[in-house]
A and B are shown apart, each in its own frame.
Chain A
Amino acid sequence: MASEKNTIMGWVDRRLPVTENLERHLTKHPVPKKVNFFYLFGALLMVVFMIQVVTGIWLMMFYTNTEEGAFASVEYIMRDVEYGWLMRYMHSTGASAFFFLMYFHMFRGLLYGSYQKPKELVWLFGCFLLFLLMAEGFLGYVLPWGQMSYWAANVILSLFGAIPFIGPDLQVWIQGDFVLSGITLSRFFALHVVVVPLLMIALVVFHIFALHEVGAGNPEGVDIEKYRDKKGMPLDGAPFHPYKTFGALPAIGIFFIVFFAIVFFAPTGGGYFIEKPNFEEANFLKTPEHIAPVWYYAPFYSILRAVTFGIPFLGITSKFLGFIIFAASIAILFVVPWLDRSNVQSIRYKGMYSKIAMILFAASFITLGYLGTKPVNELRTIIAQICTVFYFAPFILMPIYTKYEKTLEVPDRL
């Protein structure tokens, strides 16, 4: 141990366990040798998080959080600030990348059972992070104070107003005003740059500490801790650093190629990353023809819109029921660890029903996403309703099909 040595590091280590923690989390932390590309999204998410923090700080230096100044300050960043456009596009593209990677990261979790005992807390912290990311993205989208910022925020805030009894007061309390105004903008700014990012950093730390406590999974669902060599390193494992850190670098390179291709050549993502109406300043007298969420909220927005009926005798309007089901679509992810009764982790060894369920879930999620960016019509509403059922069914039926389906034998080694 370095702590006994009479070196500067030894001096520090006797007062702060730096070496011990570096070994515990990096140089001696065992991770499975063989994983597939699905296991790279966590590292990429860390990269994107850092991009968002750094570019966010720069944007904050030039942004004005007032009703009168917000829109102009964004254009000031785009035109008069040196490389301001780069910071802004990296931040806006980073938001889309964040969700893209997050969805794959979580889908990996669903496929390979990364939520099963003892990883429940890792999964829970991750779900909280998704929730916070959604809040962060929403708050951030309001800040440029364009038409879509304003009207999309109106749609979302009005959901709170749909809650029976307390709704209207709650909405005013959140807005800080009787309408969405500069007061709302200021508080959203505070939440976007301080409160939510701080919570996210804390949760990322918890997420990783919990993961390092229980150990990373692998696509086979094999427990690598079973067989160890003489030094105590699992036979199917390798130290996180240098094997996984350097292993992630090519992936980070590929990610940056795609990321910067978007930043430099298609920063608005064809209207999916920055919507066209957002280049027009917010105007409370003029509602855009079609209010569409950014693509990453589209699946959930679709679920919200698919609920076209209420429960009148309970006094529940269709809007409020939509809000409940919309909230449930995220909330149900939190309980997945307790829904899965399978004796194997990975989809590779699960039965037919689990595979069908995952395909149904993914297909309905993508279809809902597509529908969410389009205006509603009768056919689309019916498709969205069917997809909403297919979105929930894999989870609601999970306790049944995972318990009774025939699973394959999991090998001993990777």
Chain B
Amino acid sequence: MKKLLLILLILSSYGFSAGENNCGSLEKCDAFSSNVHDLYSLQRGLGIYMNYCASCHTLKLLRWNRLQKDLVIPENIITEELIRTPDTKIADHMTFGMPDVSPIGAPDLTLRTRVRGDEWIYTYLRTFYEDPSQTSGSNNLVYVGTAMPNVLAGLQGNQALDTGGTLVSISEGSMTAEEFDDSMKDLVNFLAYAAEPARITREKNGVFVILFFIVFTAVMNLLYREYAKELK
């Protein structure tokens, strides 16, 4: 019996460990898992989003006042500086005055990290390179043939593919490579937050729920042992 269970255990771990990689022309996406508990990172991510993403991409499921509350931003900064369309109220969704479907076909980004995964987005944002054959003038290693122009080139500088197929920097941007990577982590953190605002509460309070059930189990085990004595 025990042998049987052991075999099952080994088999099941083998069954759930392997996964298919899905990272475009790359073998593997760069490792990154988002953290929504770093408030400053989220705020910096919002900054990058507002400056580089918001002119094309909506966040149609996220409300301004939810953002204000969760990212601890003063209300006047939201209403005076971030909301740039006159009719938008603070309880409205972050559509930046765009219609439901973006006129240039840019997808809504609210749930994007959940569809693609953190690693995909993080790698995608960092692997743009110059490609004159594309309409936008740039291409991407993760999403080959993407229609998105390399809007981050000002920060990262331009990259090109060498003959071996690896990325090389051909001009400098306003950030160093590390600074740019950190900024993209901030941006992915922010997008992960936008995908699931409740994740902040979820991961914070989960610990207490688990602790409660550990205590519950311990107490119930003592109770059970009292009854088990009578069964002998």
Contact = CB atoms under 8 A, between A and B. Distances in A.
14 contacts: A85-B196, A89-B202, A249-B224, A254-B217, A257-B214, A264-B206, A264-B207, A267-B202, A276-B117, A279-B114, A280-B111, A359-B4, A362-B7, A370-B16
Contacts of B227: 242-243, 246-247
Given A246-B224, A249-B224, A276 B116 contact: yes
Contacts of A85: 196, 198, 202
A253 B216 contact: yes
Interface in B197-214: 197-198, 202-203, 205-207, 209-210, 213-214
A256 interface: yes
Interface in B1-54: 1, 4, 7-8, 11-12, 14-16, 19-20, 22
B66 A79 contact: yes
A78 interface: yes
Given A256-B213, A260-B213, A277-B115, 19 more contacts: A85-B202, A86-B202, A246-B220, A246-B223, A250-B220, A250-B224, A253-B218, A254-B217, A257-B213, A260-B206, A263-B206, A264-B203, A264-B207, A276-B114, A276-B116, A289-B22, A290-B20, A348-B1, A358-B4
Contacts of B171: none
A247 B4 CA distance: 25
A366 B110 CA distance: 36
Interface centre among A246, A270, A355 (most CB of B within 10 A): A246
A257 B216 CA distance: 10
Interface of B: 1, 4, 7-8, 11-12, 14-16, 19-20, 22, 61-63, 66, 110-111, 114-117, 195-198, 202-203, 205-207, 209-210, 213-214, 216-218, 220-221, 223-224, 227-228, 230-231
A254 B216 CA distance: 9
A375 interface: yes
A257 B217 contact: yes
Contacts of A370: 14-16
Given A79-B197, A257-B213, A375-B20, A363 B206 contact: no
Interface string A79-94: 1100001100100000
Interface string A273-314: 000110110000000011000000000000000000000000
Contact of A362 (B4, B20, B61, B195): B4
A257 B66 contact: no
A238 B229 CA distance: 12
A6 B181 CA distance: 80
A254 B110 CA distance: 35
Question: In the complex, which range does the number of interface residues on chain A fall in?
Answer: 35 or more
Contact of A247 (B1, B216, B224): B224
Contact of A261 (B4, B196, B205, B210): B210
A234 interface: no
Given A246-B227, A367-B15, A264 B217 contact: no
Contacts of A265: 203, 206
A188 B61 CA distance: 26
A117 B115 CA distance: 50
A361 B130 CA distance: 55
Interface in A73-117: 75, 78-80, 85-86, 89, 111
B114 to A, nearest CB: 4
Contact of B217 (A253, A272, A279, A289): A253
Interface centre among A257, A261, A355 (most CB of B within 10 A): A257
Contacts of B203: 264-265
